[in-house]
Chains A and B, each alone.
Chain A
């Protein structure tokens, strides 16, 4: 079955960077986009961007442009999201999710908690 497995929780200081991985299995990695969505405590999901896993083209939400970088390694079927210049309000669970058509996010990774604290 299709699975997305993310890297473990991270604790970072303000100003640092974090890189989260999303390892896929059960399908051909380069066939579908991978999106990154975050959810702050008690808040709704917030879309961060997508990566076309076939050619590496990315599209980031305006809010994160200049701070986020999405990459992929097709040899191991893994996508990455790096967020820099972390602030306390970046504390959230970060999810990767696959789409087949447009915004049919399914499945999702299990989530990675990133805590930004001094």
Chain B
């Protein structure tokens, strides 16, 4: 079974940039251009921030960007704002038989 590895926590100051990594394998992240990122504030429903590796849904600020290199996907948040403090989860497609996996999550603290 696939597992996506994320750092447990990252932090940054307002105005700075942070990058959250999500490491998988050639069977998931490395094999498909289907990586999504979700933001979740405590007690709230997850919110889609990035899909198809680097696409932003309407309404998501362009401070949020996604990329992928080999088996690792990344979410970069530039111009950090206090409201960006939340948990972030990556998600990858892994083929028809065992299709979809989430990462363990990264807690972003805006100092």
Chain A residues packing against B (C-beta within 8 Å)? 35, 37, 44-47, 50, 59, 61-63, 95, 101-106, 108-111
Q: How far is the CB of A33 from chain B (nearest CB, A)?
A: 11
A9 CA / B6 CA spacing, docked (Å): 31
B-side interface mostly: strand
A106-B55 Cα distance, complex, nearest whole Å:
13
How many chain B residues touch A (CB < 8 A): the figure is 27
List residues of B (56-111) whose CB comes within 8 Å of A's CBs: 57, 87, 89, 91-93, 96-105
The chain B residues found within 8 Å of chain A, CB to CB, are: 1, 34-36, 38, 45-48, 51-52, 57, 87, 89, 91-93, 96-105
Q: Is the CB of A103 within 8 A of B104?
A: no
A59 and B97 alpha carbons, distance in the complex (Å): 8
A-B contact pairs, 9 of them (CB 8 A): A44-B89, A44-B102, A45-B38, A46-B102, A61-B99, A62-B97, A101-B52, A102-B34, A104-B57
* B36 x A104 contact (CB < 8 A): yes
Contact B57 A106 (CB under 8 A): yes
Taken together as a complex, chains A and B put the C-alpha atoms of A50 and B20 apart, in Å, by: 27
Question: Could you say which of A47, A61, A102, A110 has the most chain B C-beta atoms within 10 Å of its C-beta?
Answer: A102
> Using Cβ atoms and an 8 Å threshold, which residues of chain A touch B101?
47
Q: Note all chain B residues with C-beta closer than 8 A to A104.
A: 36, 48, 51-52, 57
Complex: A40 Cα to B1 Cα, angstroms? 19
Between B57, B96, B100, the greatest number of chain A beta carbons within 10 A of the residue's beta carbon is seen for: B100
